[in-house]
Structure 1
Amino acid sequence: MVIAQPITSKTPTLTVAWEKLPDDFKLPDDPVDNVNQPALAAALTDSLNQAGLMVDTAFTMTNYGVCATVDGKIVVKAPDWAYVAQITVPRTEIERSYTPHLQGDVPTIVMEFLSATAGDEYSSKPTYPPGKWFYYETILQVPYYAIFEPASGDLELYQRQDDGRYKLHTMANNGLYWIESMQLFLGVWQGERENRTGYWLRWWDAQENLLLWGIERADQEAQRADQEAQRADQAAQRADRLRAQLRAAGIEPEE
């Protein structure tokens, strides 16, 4: 099945087709150029899972090819992290790569984590191979594009406008960015996870409650269990004191 559409941009009209990637197509195998990228990506997915927001038809990707055919040429870009709300094919069909429209929704949001190595996160180059900015904005038409600098904690979130262009998204009064289609806030948090201390991207719900990671949830449950055990111990001690007082008064308490 091939789904094709013309796209008019600042350049001459492009013909974009959403075709199944050939089985013998060699996907890019570039090494991750940001040592923080796997940890940052895993943390974003972890909290969505813990909150029960990853339904069976949703999936996240990290350093994973998102494909389109532009003017007859296959284009593959691998965002550092992305979220797709719904796929329409079995997961076995997207083990190698993902083609929007053909296999499910366009990603709701894509993210790139900046490193010391210059990349094309801001590249609006329209000619083959297109820059990431142009690819996300014009070809895929992703609603939200986040660019994050892990070292400084700087976050830029862009939202696609009616004119087809990205515009810097406005921060809410709480210092977070509202993602309407996910009904979540995205923001920067500073702390430690898995021996990495620094800045992280995290989710908050509509009531501004932080979505916890698995380790945080486990710690919270352990603390709750400790508190309940302490309350039970305190109640037992009070009962022992009361029985002792009754006996001192010559009254045998009922067991």
Structure 2
Amino acid sequence: MLTSITNYEITWEKLPDDFVLDDEPVDNINQPSLAAALTESLEIAGKVPPNALTTTNYGICAAVNQKFVVKAPDWAYIPAIRVPREEVKRTYTPQLQGEVPVIVMEFLSDTEGGEYSIKPTYPPGKWFFYEQVLRVTHYIIFEPDTGEIEAYQLDDGRYQIRTPDENNRYWIAQIGLFLGVWQGTRENRTGYWLRWWDENGRLLLWGLEKAERLAAQLRAAGIEPEV
């Protein structure tokens, strides 16, 4: 498959088996927990259909001017893949293997990770790749230490920063949920988290929260839950 943008030829090809992927460690210690928390509440709420795919630090690729480019966003949501899951174990190629991610996220670390890089030459920057090559609708940049969130949406081919609603949340139409920042504790980490709310403003719960809520309801009814 071939797509053209000014001065660039984009080819949607499967990454060769002998292509050497970067093997760099995750540079943000909070990244795995933040990503897992986003996915868990979506799964519990039934917002991850069987053919959808959520990824964390996982390669999404395309060929730009006949050179393969692979970026691994800290978290991404792909609404539908069209191939068996065993075919996307290593990397994922949009258009060829399924739909383009509707949202990608980067969690800022103490080091410069290039989340704002618009570098168009090889290898292109993350911002350029998400905006101009993949054309991902929503790009989220999150600072876990301060809870600051930047939400960008593709508008006329360019990312435009969004203004949050009165609850400081952002509507993600393709998922049918609001995204916002929540402060609290999970897995021995107390701090800021990205979380989901439904259209009625109800927080999508994690598994432990659902269990705790059920236990409280049972106790209120005079029933002591089994441990």
TM-score by length of structure 2 reads: 0.97
Flag structure 1 segments of 5+ consecutive residues without an equivalent: 232-255
Give the counterpart letter for 1:209 in structure 2.
R
**What is the CA–CA distance in structure 1 between the aligned matches of 2:124 and 2:135, rounded to whole Å?**
14
1:118 to 112, 117, 134: 112
1:173 to 166, 170, 188: 166
Name the SS for the 2:141 alignment partner.
strand
Name the SS for the 2:185 alignment partner.
strand
Give the counterpart letter for 2:128 in structure 1.
F
**What is the CA–CA distance in structure 1 between the aligned matches of 2:160 and 2:72, rounded to whole Å?**
22
1:208 equivalent in alignment to 2:208: no
Give the counterpart letter for 2:8 in structure 1.
L
Give the counterpart letter for 1:6 in structure 2.
S
Name the SS for the 2:212 alignment partner.
helix
**What is the CA–CA distance in structure 2 between the aligned matches of 1:85 and 1:5, rounded to whole Å?**
21
**What is the CA–CA distance in structure 1 between the aligned matches of 2:136 and 2:81, rounded to whole Å?**
15
Measured after TM superposition, the shift of residue 230 of structure 1 is 4.8
Name the SS for the 2:100 alignment partner.
coil
1:38 equivalent in alignment to 2:54: no
**Paired position in structure 1 for 2:94:** 100
Q: Is the contact made by 2:47 and 2:175 (CA closer than 8 Å) also made in structure 1?
A: no
1:18-167 equivalence runs, <5 A: 18-162=12-156, 164-167=157-160
- State the aligned residue count: 224
**Paired position in structure 1 for 2:3:** 5
Name the SS for the 2:181 alignment partner.
strand
**Paired position in structure 2 for 1:244:** none
TM-score by length of structure 1 reads: 0.86
Name the SS for the 1:83 alignment partner.
strand
**Cα shift readout 1:16-36 (whole Å, capped 9, x = no counterpart):** 000011111111111000000
Give the counterpart letter for 1:21 in structure 2.
L
RMSD: 1.0
**Cα shift readout 1:54-97 (whole Å, capped 9, x = no counterpart):** 11001100000000000000000000000001000000000000
**What is the CA–CA distance in structure 2 between the aligned matches of 1:169 and 1:103, rounded to whole Å?**
30
- Asked which structure has the greater RCO (Cα within 8 Å, sep 6+), the reply is 2
**What is the CA–CA distance in structure 2 between the aligned matches of 1:25 and 1:228, rounded to whole Å?**
59
Measured after TM superposition, the shift of residue 174 of structure 1 is 2.0
- Structure having the higher helix fraction is 1
**Paired position in structure 2 for 1:234:** none
**Cα shift readout 1:172-221 (whole Å, capped 9, x = no counterpart):** 12221111111110000000000000000000011110000111011111
2:179 to 180, 186, 209: 186
Name the SS for the 2:60 alignment partner.
strand
Measured after TM superposition, the shift of residue 50 of structure 1 is 0.8
Flag structure 2 segments of 5+ consecutive residues without an equivalent: none
Which 10-residue stretch deviates more, 19-28 or 42-51?
Answer: 19-28
**What is the CA–CA distance in structure 1 between the aligned matches of 2:174 and 2:46, rounded to whole Å?**
16
**What is the CA–CA distance in structure 2 between the aligned matches of 1:51 and 1:111, rounded to whole Å?**
20
Name the SS for the 1:229 alignment partner.
coil
2:216 to 216, 223, 226: 223
Give the counterpart letter for 2:211 in structure 1.
A
Q: Is the contact made by 2:142 and 2:150 (CA closer than 8 Å) also made in structure 1?
A: yes
Identical positions, percent: 60
